[in-house]
């Protein structure tokens, strides 16, 4: 059974940084691209970033480019999102999602999300 | 403002058929397949329809998807109370280096 478990969320001050992690199990992690999708509480879904199986292809939403960095460690079956220069509008649930194939394939499994709150 | 346009709400009574539309452009829906996600209250999104009209294992055949040009639709027939949820369309967009775009979501209410 595919499992994706996010961690690392919490309360952070504006301008601060945070590193989110996603622990994957139940599938061959290094065969698939992975993504981060966020959702402001009560609002819609926003794709944040995607990374190919080997990190060779990375894409970001314009709203986070230059502030967020996605990476993965295939030996640890883990996906990461380094988020910096945080703004109140970055407050959201951050979901890890597995791609069916490459970065441009649909998301077939999602984690339960981790909440990031940016506030002074 | 979402790149893909969905109605913010939809409703129906048990047993009815409802449809939810999703409008995009040539760079996303016009060039790539559409996927639909269902988000039940308080839970993570779940894949409902992929590649325009394919259902993952376990999704009832009451749910169906279609695409024409730069628009897509999700249809739910035999509406049930447990279908009350938020529904999102998504597609790969070929602009720039490529990115995923979502619709703003449609809240379905079963009356």
A111 to chain B, closest Cα gap in Å: 7
Best residue of B27, B28, B44 to probe chain A, by most A CBs closer than 10 Å? B44
Residue partners of A32: CB distance under 8 A and separation at least 6: A53, A98, A99, A100, A101
B17 to chain A, closest Cα gap in Å: 24
pLDDT value, residue B96: 84
Element at A21 (helix H, strand E): strand A18-25
C-alpha angle A12/A82/A21, rounded to 5°?
Answer: 90
10-residue mean pLDDT profile of chain A (120 residues): values are: 97 97 98 98 97 96 93 98 96 98 96 97
Best residue of A22, A36, A106 to probe chain B, by most B CBs closer than 10 Å? A106
CB pairs under 8 A between A and B: 60
End-to-end CA distance of chain B: 28
Chain B residue with CA closest to A61: the answer is B99
pLDDT value, residue B1: 84
Low-confidence ranges of chain B (pLDDT < 50): none
pLDDT value, residue A103: 94
Q: In whole angstroms, what is the distance from residue B57 CA to residue B74 CA?
A: 17
Asked if B92's CB is within 8 angstroms of A45's CB, the reply is: no
């Amino acid at each position: 059974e595919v499992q994706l478990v996010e961690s690392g969320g919490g309360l952070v001050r504006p301008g601060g940084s945070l590193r989110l992690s996603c622990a994957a199990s139940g599938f061959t992690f290094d065969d698939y691209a992975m993504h981060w999708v966020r959702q402001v509480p009560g609002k819609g879904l926003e794709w944040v970033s995607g990374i190919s199986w080997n990190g060779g292809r990375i894409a970001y939403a314009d709203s986070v480019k230059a502030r967020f960095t996605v990476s993965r460690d295939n030996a640890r079956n883990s996906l990461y999102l380094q988020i910096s220069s945080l703004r109140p509008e970055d407050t959201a649930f951050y979901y890890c999602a597995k791609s069916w194939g490459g970065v441009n394939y649909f998301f077939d499994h999602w984690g339960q999300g981790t909440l990031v709150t940016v506030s002074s | 403002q979402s790149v893909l346009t969905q109605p913010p709400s939809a409703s129906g009574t048990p047993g009815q058929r409802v449809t939810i539309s999703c409008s995009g452009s040539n760079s996303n829906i016009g060039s790539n397949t559409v996927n639909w996600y269902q988000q039940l209250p308080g839970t993570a999104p779940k894949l409902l329809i992929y590649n325009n009209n394919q259902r993952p294992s376990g999704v009832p055949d009451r749910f169906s998807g279609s695409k024409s040009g730069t628009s897509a639709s999700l249809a739910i027939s035999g509406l049930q109370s447990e279908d009350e949820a938020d529904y999102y369309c998504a597609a790969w967009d070929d602009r720039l280096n490529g990115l995923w775009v979502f619709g703003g979501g449609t809240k379905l209410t079963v009356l």
